[in-house]
């Protein structure tokens, strides 16, 4: 299956649009990862554990997107966008989402 961020596929003709396909992957963090990242923030450098987590999340989201598209009978997904946002709960219990 072709999955692309472009809205056309060179040399291909889109025969029909099957609708919007979405995929979501949500990961929770853990204390150790947050602690190590805060040390990295202080001394500088890259945070490998978060980079691996984001990479895994993107890979799983694309796999889920492909599975959902295949269930619709699609042979390609065009115009995808990968959005990395954060979900936080404030002190009063209100859920906040930021992209």
pLDDT in tens, 9-18: 999 999 999 9
In a 3-state reduction of DSSP, which class is residue 68? helix
- Rounded CA-CA distance 50/48 in Å is 5
The pLDDT of residue 9 is 92
Please give the average per-residue pLDDT across 54-61, as a whole number.
Answer: 89
Give residue limits of the domains in the chain.
2-98
The pTM for the full model equals 0.71
User: What topology does CATH give the domain 2-98?
Assistant: Translation Initiation Factor IF3 (3.30.110)
More confident residue, 95 or 49: 49
pLDDT in tens, 19-42: 999 998 877 666 666 666 566 656
The pLDDT of residue 55 is 87
- Rounded CA-CA distance 70/88 in Å is 33
- Rounded CA-CA distance 62/58 in Å is 6
Q: Which of 82, 84, 77 is nearest to 7 (CA)?
A: 77
84 torsion bin: left (phi>0), alpha (psi -120 to 50), beta (else): beta
pLDDT in tens, 60-88: 999 999 999 999 999 999 999 988 777 66
More confident residue, 73 or 55: 73
């Amino acid at each position: 299956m072709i999955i692309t961020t472009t809205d056309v596929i060179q040399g291909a003709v889109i025969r029909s649009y099957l609708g919007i396909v979405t995929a979501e992957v949500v990961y929770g963090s853990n204390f150790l990862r947050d602690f190590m990242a805060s040390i990295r923030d202080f001394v500088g450098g890259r945070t490998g554990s978060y980079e691996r987590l984001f990479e895994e999340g993107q890979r799983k989201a694309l796999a889920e997107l492909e599975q959902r598209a295949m269930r619709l009978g699609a042979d390609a997904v065009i115009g995808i966008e990968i959005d990395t946002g954060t979900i936080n709960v404030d002190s009063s219990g209100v859920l906040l989402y930021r992209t």
